[in-house]
Chains A and B, each alone.
Chain A
């Protein structure tokens, strides 16, 4: 029964799937290209809606998969198709024969510098959502430390729902992330004015709406509906945001000490290359293509190759974890029918 199953990607999807496969009695082999498990979640500070530390969630999962084979700083160099499985060669020289492969390759954050008009990498006081989480975690960022933070702005949908940036899809989690981060910033700098520039708020998940109301009622975050057209910098190094307040129908100009760009979720280009080794194609949105987008998002057109997590599109943490479990079960069922 101890079949090998290769899981590509050591984020929460890969970890949770490994955990479930271990419980089912398989031998998951988890490869992760970076030097730590947990993927993007490991870089995050607190998770909505309960504001539980991301570190705890990752540590919890790590505990559960101790018995799995885990290769860090390892990538897939090639995959050969066998009669009833695959031969996977890793960059660390290990060669594995497995019955099934799970692609839990995750996503990339949109490179905010590609939206040049927002000035990321050009103006000093512009950062991304991920930079802000790093500051929450490490307390180290010269854009915040030693600066007087009186006014902070959040730009929603940076590289999401943006055809011109090549990503028409909604990243799903940034609305709530922005609200979460706005509230956290407000906690750090109670006197600061915090603005969220949004096109519309998509608060679909459990307790998301509560968060939104709390942000307005308790934290006093200002929500301005309108896309930011351009960002500039004044002589004092402050950033000036130009937008339109579409609710009042007037152009607005706000001078800020810090601007946070909510970089969206885009497909992981490297994952596309890896997936092509097992003939998994990309869907029209650039993410990996499932067999069916309604009833069978986990299986692919390639036999024995499965998908989990944000490899197929933007997802929240609970969705990703649920999908990882479903993937483990799908793999199990597949292996049973194979016998």
Chain B
């Protein structure tokens, strides 16, 4: 392989160089800014993670699997998975192979930034290169791969339904420019490489094309314009990239190490939050997933639009979108880059200026403390029912019955009234108030002498698990606890008649990752059927405390839709493990709805 031009340069590389320098500069500056926006502790954590072998390896693995191969997407939708990975991985391989080619044949040109990209223009084939035909083959192969992805992308743009997407976002003008330039890059590359294939060599794709072109177009004059066009398409794409949804490509490579370093959102708009916003590819998968979008309502209140509005700085819409959300977390469950919709919204709520700040410091908890107070004992259990269970007393009654049957030494923390666990205020973004409630509850719990805290409400469970830090006290949800009792032989479940479906409450399933224990219990109590969408795909009942503005009338459609999903297997009873889900479903269900505590209580003696 020999140099065609002594200079190794042609003016057509200039557009590419401009684009490349711009986008690289933009991303590097942006990344540094994001890292500096982290608070001191987080920044330290992040930097340490970058030199810790375990996280280094995890970062590389995650970036490779998610950004290039799109493993998560493959699992969800094979067609979309192929489309994305063919473009991302194919392009990546073209770049890598281009560089290897350059290293092997033109090592003295490697230092030229553009050379590997336009390799086929600058070189001429000779006998020596024939040994490397495998490279040419691979280059054509991956180009074909990318082109197949582009064809799918074009079909998807016209008919998204073929790809299993009912609703998708409307791209903005810049998004369209980015999109069309991206589509153009690879056909232009094919043309350009085909025009030079008889000089620089090629393989199964470019050589036949070259022959075909020769028969039609004949002369060499077409060569340079297509290389120019290819370079310009690259330039356009790279220049608009920071202002389009394609910014998600570089940002995700920063988001993954952020996440692997264990960062959480500390500031509503900066650092980790900003990385999430810019990692959003705007695909709109969250629209179909959002429980509020049933009957085509609230489509523009989904996470993809939250990110878009944060990017645009539209404060009014940010507020509306943040307040309306049920915080069920399903958008996060389906999101390919893992944008945390609920946490993003809670962060937006937290920077709001409220007219009134509640003050919980005046609450007197001495009576509550006295009612549960006891000497520390390893077997002692403290049961906290929570506000929602207070409205569904059948659950706390069943729990007390279960405790008695199993011979548990228990105290009912809020039988005669208690304090809120703090989760609703936390969801409203009022962290200070939540901290006060947590502090008071913690005091009561620590006075109880219990070693285990049992909660029948997943809303409470989540906050107790994540924010209480109760040393020496185990926090369990009643589904887990009852299963422990059954496994220890303290509770004997008897199989009953009639099938049951289990509804995964958002806060317990997606929120705390408890899916198996309730099912194991129910299987011992009777026949368990599954809902059409279950586990992490479970649909919010619509009763969630997460939403600050969604009216009661607006929630009915959400509940009915969730119910339709649950009864697809025609169960006799709907069983859930959340007092709020129970109350919400019971309103419209055509069959009995009960909490798992009631089910367990019915099936034990």
Contacts and interface: CB of A to CB of B under 8 A. Distances in A.
A164 B585 CA distance: 11
B354 interface: no
Closest 9 A/B residue pairs (Cβ)? A117-B391, A116-B392, A230-B390, A122-B393, A119-B393, A122-B394, A230-B391, A163-B552, A122-B397
Q: How big is the B interface, by class?
A: 10 to 19
16 contacts: A116-B391, A116-B394, A117-B391, A117-B392, A119-B393, A123-B393, A163-B552, A165-B587, A166-B587, A230-B390, A230-B391, A230-B393, A231-B393, A232-B416, A240-B416, A242-B417
Interface in A292-331: none
A116 B592 CA distance: 13
Contact of B393 (A117, A164, A234): A117
Nearest to A235: B415
A166 B587 CA distance: 8
Contact of A232 (B415, B552, B588): B415
A165 B586 CA distance: 10
A114 interface: yes
Contact of A116 (B416, B552, B553, B583): B583
Given A114-B586, A117-B390, A117-B393, A163 B553 contact: yes
Contacts of A231: 393
B553 A232 contact: no
A24 to B, nearest CB: 43
A166, A232, A233, A240: most-surrounded residue (chain B CB, <10 A): A232
A164 B586 contact: no
Given A230-B390, A234-B415, 17 more contacts: A116-B391, A116-B394, A116-B583, A117-B390, A117-B393, A119-B393, A122-B394, A164-B587, A165-B587, A166-B588, A231-B393, A232-B390, A232-B415, A233-B393, A234-B416, A242-B417, A253-B417
A36 B559 CA distance: 40
Interface in B276-323: none
A116 B390 contact: no
A114 B416 CA distance: 23
Q: How big is the A interface, by class?
A: 10 to 19
Contacts of A230: 390-391, 393
A69 B392 CA distance: 47
Interface string B570-605: 000000000000010011100000000000000000
Contacts of B588: 166
A262 B415 CA distance: 25
A57 B596 CA distance: 48
A240 B397 CA distance: 15
Contacts of B417: 242, 253
A71 B392 CA distance: 42
Chain B at the A interface: SS class = helix
Contact of B586 (A116, A119, A242): A116
B588 to A, nearest CB: 8
A232 B412 CA distance: 13
Interface in A71-100: none
Contact of B552 (A114, A119, A164, A234): A164
Interface string A230-246: 11111000001010000
Interface string A93-129: 0000000000000000000001011010011000000
Contacts of A114: 586
A230 B416 CA distance: 11
Interface in A165-187: 165-166
Contacts of B552: 163-164
B81 to A, nearest CB: 43
Contacts of B587: 164-166
A120 to B, nearest CB: 10
A300 B415 CA distance: 52
Interface string B374-393: 00000000000000001111
A114, A122, A165, A234: most-surrounded residue (chain B CB, <10 A): A122
Contacts of B393: 116-117, 119, 122-123, 230-233
Nearest to B588: A166
A116 B393 CA distance: 7
A232 B386 CA distance: 13
Nearest to A253: B417
Contacts of B397: 122
A57 B583 CA distance: 40
Interface string B389-424: 011111001000000000000000001110000000
A274 to B, nearest CB: 20
Contacts of A117: 390-393
Contacts of A166: 587-588
Interface string B14-37: 000000000000000000000000
A116 B392 CA distance: 5
A233 B417 CA distance: 11
B393, B415, B586: most-surrounded residue (chain A CB, <10 A): B393
Contacts of B390: 117, 230, 232
A233 B393 CA distance: 9
B215 to A, nearest CB: 75
Contacts of B583: 116
Interface in A232-284: 232-234, 240, 242, 253
Contacts of A233: 393
Interface string A29-64: 000000000000000000000000000000000000
Contacts of B553: 163
Contacts of B586: 114, 116
